[in-house]
Amino acid sequence: MNRTLWMTQTLLAGLFIFAGLVKLLSPIQPMVDQTGLPAGLLLFVGVVEVLGGIGVILPGLLRLWTVLIPLAAAGLVIIMIGATVVTVQGGTVLLASIPFATGLMAAFVAYGRWRLAPLGQE
């Protein structure tokens, strides 16, 4: 279980750090035009994605404040719920399966590191 959680955490960290950096470093106006969301919200989501990506991996690697891992993963679940809703509202229900599946992965990490295999108790 521990190995599966580590692989999932690594995948989520890479995914969210990349997605957040794209939102923060790309020109904002094309994203605003595409999504219809305010620029400030997109920048906020970018920051939260980068911090969440760091939060699901760094405490475990450093073995410091490992209680932050399930909290970061739970925050990413909230972000993915919003992404799923926005995708469905945009009329692309089939594409909503991607943020939905990502949210399930984050929920697995949150529960796994909270109850199944907490890092502080090995």
pLDDT of residue 121: 59
> pLDDT means per 10 residues in the chain (122 residues)?
96 98 97 93 97 97 94 98 94 93 98 89 54
Dihedral, CA of residue 41, residue 43, residue 45 and residue 46, to nearest 10: 170
Cα dihedral: 88, 42, 19, 24 (round 10): 160
Token readout for 42 is 């997109």
pLDDT of residue 119: 83
Q: Model pTM?
A: 0.93
- Domains in the chain: boundaries: 2-121
